[in-house]
Amino acid sequence: MNILTPDKSKLALRYYHTFAPTLIPMALFSYVNNKYEINCKTVDFLNAVNIGYHSYVSSSSIISDYIKHPNLSKIARISNLKLHLVSTIGIYHYIYNINSNE
């Protein structure tokens, strides 16, 4: 599997569809976790991974559908990967700092 084209990998799409039903329940559990100050970091980390992965694969599918020029597509895919990595790492950092400061 090429990391820049997860939308063309059967394994990546299988994970995408397997974990899709968990998006809303995990988000609700994360909300309850933070509202009632349960402070379970694992829930928030798993939720961040799940949302980040779904966003990355979805964005990659949009790039495949709408950007046909190979050079522009490659630039968009590299930007997509970097932006999703930076944002997921930023969310991890935020979760760690919020939960460790309490």
Please check whether residue 38 lies inside any domain of the structure: yes
Please check whether residue 69 lies inside any domain of the structure: yes
Question: 17 lies in which domain range?
Answer: 6-100
pLDDT digits 0-9 by tens, 16-57: 999 999 999 999 999 998 888 887 888 899 999 999 999 999
Please check whether residue 29 lies inside any domain of the structure: yes
Determine the Cα–Cα distance for residues 60 and 3; give it in Å rounded to an integer.
10
Please check whether residue 28 lies inside any domain of the structure: yes
Q: Which of 53, 73, 55 is nearest to 64 (CA)?
A: 73
How is residue 4 annotated by DSSP? T
User: Per-residue pLDDT for 88 more than 90?
Assistant: yes
Contact present, 99 and 37 (Cβ < 8 Å) = no
Indicate which CATH number applies to the domain containing 91: 1.20.1300
Please check whether residue 1 lies inside any domain of the structure: no
pTM of the model: 0.89
State the total domains in the chain: 1
Please check whether residue 59 lies inside any domain of the structure: yes
